[in-house]
Amino acid sequence: MHMSNTAQRVSVFATALLAVVAVAFTATRVISGDATPPGTSEKADVAAADGHYFKVQEVKSSGTVNAAGTSVSYDAIAGTLVVHPKDWDDVPNVDKDKKDEAASPEASMFYVAYFKKGARPDQRPVTFLFNGGPGSATVWLHMGAFGPKRIVTADDSHQPAAPYEVVNNTASLLDVSDLVFIDAPGAGFSRIAGKEKEKAFYGVDQDGHAFAEFILQFLSKYGRWNSPKYLFGESYGTTRAAVLSNLLETEHDVDLNGVIMLSQILNFDLSVDGPEFNPGVGLPYQVALPTYAASAWYHKKLPKGAPTDLHALLKEVQHYAMTDYGMALSAGAALTEKQRRAVAEKLHRYTGLPVSYILKADLRINGGVFEKNLQDDADMTTGRLDTRFSGPSMDPLSKEADYDPQSAAISSAYVSAFNDYVRKDLHYGAGVAFKPSIPAYRFWDFKHQPPGVPFALQQSTNVMVDLATAMKYNPNLKVHLHAGYYDLATPFYEGVYEMRQLPIPKALQKNISFSFYESGHMIYAHEDSLKALHDNTADFIRQTSNVK
């Protein structure tokens, strides 16, 4: 879906194997499935006679959407572009007389592009959108946020089974920008093939390069080099957007007008999924505390005396998290019992969890523990992607949440609606399986080579330097962060902290703007927030597009 995509928490310890305490946690929900295209052997990938597996595809259709009160007629293109790993040699490496020899890896990347009819390319912004995972298709942003059609789902409860309602999307961004929804290599209708194909595409840097190559090809194919350009990433897609912005700016001389982040994570050391495996780093607990408080407030679990106004509560909790709570965590065993109890009582005030439990947890509650225990008195598990959601606990005796009720609540609706729409309206995908997500985490290389470093670092993924470098290289680049108060996959204050810590001159901080919503990871799952998300994003594009 984004940082996570199906109903099962899977913790990725890849970076922990590379550095003793640097844990790259990505709690990822996956749907089983391989990344091998139909007809390709798992044992030996046999290339076509010309040394290539895939061909560029394109299927055209058209439609009209009423977006924000504006009727927009558009051309739609569903298709694929073929990309290769970095340093790929475009001379085929397969001898036509030795067809059992595997060709170099390549990816067929699926996209759906919507172009406003009759618009001048130099006067029309184009926005490239992608979800995260890693390993997720971009069905969520497509059918939930900004495509011309939108799936209607329940606000904070499990969506009843089919038939599902698909409606004209009044929040589509087609009123201000052309849109390109891109599936990551191997996900959705995208496919990978070739020798060591997973190694070639499944990694922070490998993935960034593939998306950069896709965008460069797209700009050439559709004549959009002189259009205002935007990246829009959700969850791991924000990690990708940071890497991609630096690649496009510094290696390919493509200045972006804006980078739009939804539910951001740039520094994986700040993740509240599994911080206990990285002892000595208290920040994950601190930046998650405001989300714990918002969630407890929503479910009416706060004790008497706690602030009753959400925004007043969050202001108070943010201050405590970054001051007294941070100092207490840093003190560790030096805290007296009196001090520990005082902190536990304060955390009880902000989370509703029992003081005794907080003390037993050593003042440190990770995300899965909070989700399991917030409503444990009712044998209910709290959502991770959106803590407004609840579902029956799988195992009442488990320590942490066993699944995500929000993902379980809406995934069927999104996947079913997209499969129906893409085949009937966009006329793409006959006889081909659509993969909402793939188990890319099994192969994912979390090592990353930041700008200015000659090799990939053996540490938890951190791409803050990439975004900072892009902003310094192009000091006109604007960045906007959207964040939901009820998101425990990428807590809203984590994104704020990252933006405030970017290694950029103070003057460039004015290029960063924020919008916050009473919603979760998928901000658009809450209808009022969806409208605000559209309006804030549309305003950002209008203000930064340089279109007169």
Mean pLDDT computed over 60-73 = 97
Residues 104-162 have pLDDT tens digits of 899 999 999 999 999 999 999 999 999 999 999 999 999 999 999 999 998 888 888 88
Whether 44 shows a pLDDT value over 50: the answer reads: no
CA distance 265 to 241: 10
Is the pLDDT at 328 greater than 60, yes or no? yes
What's the pLDDT at 43?
37
pLDDT of 50 reads: 57
pLDDT confidence of residue 87: 80
Lowest average pLDDT, out of 152-156, 286-290, 331-335, 386-390, goes to 152-156
Determine the pLDDT at residue 92: 55
pLDDT recorded at residue 241: 98
Q: Is 188 helix (H, G, I), strand (E, B) or coil?
A: strand
Query: What pLDDT, on a 0 to 100 scale, did the predictor assign at position 88?
Result: 79
Whether pLDDT at 342 is above 70: yes
Look at residues 487, 528, 495, 488 and name the one whose alpha carbon lies nearest to residue 513.
Answer: 495
Please give the DSSP secondary-structure letter assigned to residue 149. E
Do 407 and 437 form a contact (C-beta atoms < 8 A)?
Answer: no
Query: What is the rounded distance in angstroms from the CA atom of residue 547 to the CA atom of residue 496?
Result: 29
Sorting pLDDT into bands at 50, 70 and 90, what band is 19?
very low
Average confidence score pLDDT of the chain: 89
Q: What is the pLDDT of residue 157?
A: 82
Residue 33 in this model has a pLDDT that exceeds 80: no
Phi-psi region of 485 (alpha: psi -120 to 50; beta: other; left: phi over 0): alpha
Q: Is the pLDDT of residue 468 over 60?
A: yes
Of all residues in the chain, what percent carry a pLDDT higher than 90?
A: 81
The residue extents of the domains of the chain are 15-270+410-544, 279-402
Give the mean pLDDT of 212-220. Answer: 98
* CA separation for the pair 150, 352 (Å, rounded): 36
Q: How confident is the model at residue 23 (pLDDT cuts 50, 70, 90)?
A: very low
> pLDDT value at position 381?
96
Token pair belonging to 108: 């067929």
Question: Domain 15-270+410-544 adopts which CATH fold?
Answer: Rossmann fold (3.40.50)
For residues 196-209, average pLDDT = 96
Reply yes or no on whether the pLDDT at 496 is more than 80.
yes
The residue ranking higher by pLDDT, 36 or 380, is 380
CA distance 15 to 2: 20
User: What confidence score (pLDDT) does residue 15 get?
Assistant: 34
Min mean pLDDT across 344-348, 437-441, 497-501 is at 437-441
Residue ranges of alpha helices (H) inside 225-366 are 236-246, 283-298, 310-320, 326-331, 337-351, 355-360
Question: Across the strands, what pairs with 110?
Answer: 80
Question: Which of the four pLDDT bands, split at 50, 70 and 90, describes residue 27?
Answer: very low
138-152 pLDDT, tens digit each: 999 999 999 999 999
More confident position, 170 or 405: 170
- pLDDT attached to residue 155: 85
Selected residue with higher pLDDT from 96 and 129 = 129
